[in-house]
Amino acid sequence: MKNVEFSPSLMTMDLDKFKEQITFLDKHADSYHVDIMDGHYVPNITLSPWFIEEVRKISNLPISAHLMVTNPSLWVQQLIDIECEWICMHAEVLDGLAFRLIDQIHDAGLKAGVVLNPETPIDAIYPYIDLVDKITIMTIDPGFAGQRFIDSTLDKIVDLRKLREEKGYPYVIEMDGSSNRKSFQKIDAAGPDIYILGRSGLFGLDEDIATSWEIMNKDFKEMTGKSISFS
């Protein structure tokens, strides 16, 4: 039995094998993670609500949109319109917007998440922490795949677990960044509910997605003693 959930980051998939990889992952993953970058909050420009619609044509898994954007107000309604299950916004750009956007997402029957950069403390979201459905801890600097893992970010995962237990908050805890064989053991010790898998932890392990998943599963089991296979 799986103890945690796994969410492949589709920014790092092989788009030449889009249908093949989504079809396989639909039978193995728990959800998908879609990075939306505006070229301002972070230098890169990546995926979009349109991409989510394309995934939906062949997938039934929940999708989590990670908004790495300067003005989330410009994107939230677009994601509501396509009924994206999770809409996650960076705490660093939510000052003066948090309550309105969280309410807007919830009023649409969807789930609202907040994302914390490595330098951002948990107390930055205390005013609305009881309202969010998911808290994502960035374990790398945002905007680029393949960066080094920042070990100190794991302390926030531990603290969020304790806070959830003490206060009865409903949020799930997700980690994002360099989740792979080298980091699985220390991430597992911190105890997030959701692992995001990118290039180093999944898509870059082999050209064949089934083989990549098998390698990732083997790596995770060897490093943590836990199996994540559905079979």
Query: What torsion do the CA atoms of 187, 197, 213, 172 make, to the nearest 10 degrees?
Result: 70
* Cα–Cα distance measured from residue 11 to residue 221, given in angstroms and rounded to the nearest whole number: 25
Residue 198 assigned to a binding site: no
Residue 66 assigned to a binding site: yes
User: 3-class SS at 214?
Assistant: helix
Residue 35 assigned to a binding site: yes
Residue 33 assigned to a binding site: yes
Catalytic residue, chosen from 16, 176, 206, 219, is: 176
The b-or-e profile of 64-82 (16+ CB within 10 A means b, else e) is bbbbbbeebeebbebbbee
> Catalytic: 219?
no
* Cα–Cα distance measured from residue 100 to residue 221, given in angstroms and rounded to the nearest whole number: 42
Residue 176 assigned to a binding site: yes
Residues 6+ apart with CB under 8 A from 157: 137, 173, 175, 187, 190, 191, 192
Catalytic residue, chosen from 26, 35, 141, 155, is: 35
> Catalytic: 176?
yes
Q: What is the largest CA-CA distance in the chain?
A: 47
Residue 113 assigned to a binding site: no
Give the HSE-up count for residue 44: Cα atoms under 13 Å, Cβ half-sphere. Answer: 14
Residue 106 assigned to a binding site: no
* Residue list for the binding site for substrate: 66, 143-146, 176-178
* Residue list for the binding site: 33, 35, 66, 143-146, 176-178
* Residue list for the binding site for a divalent metal cation: 33, 35, 66, 176
Give the residue numbers annotated as catalytic, written as ranges. Answer: 35, 176
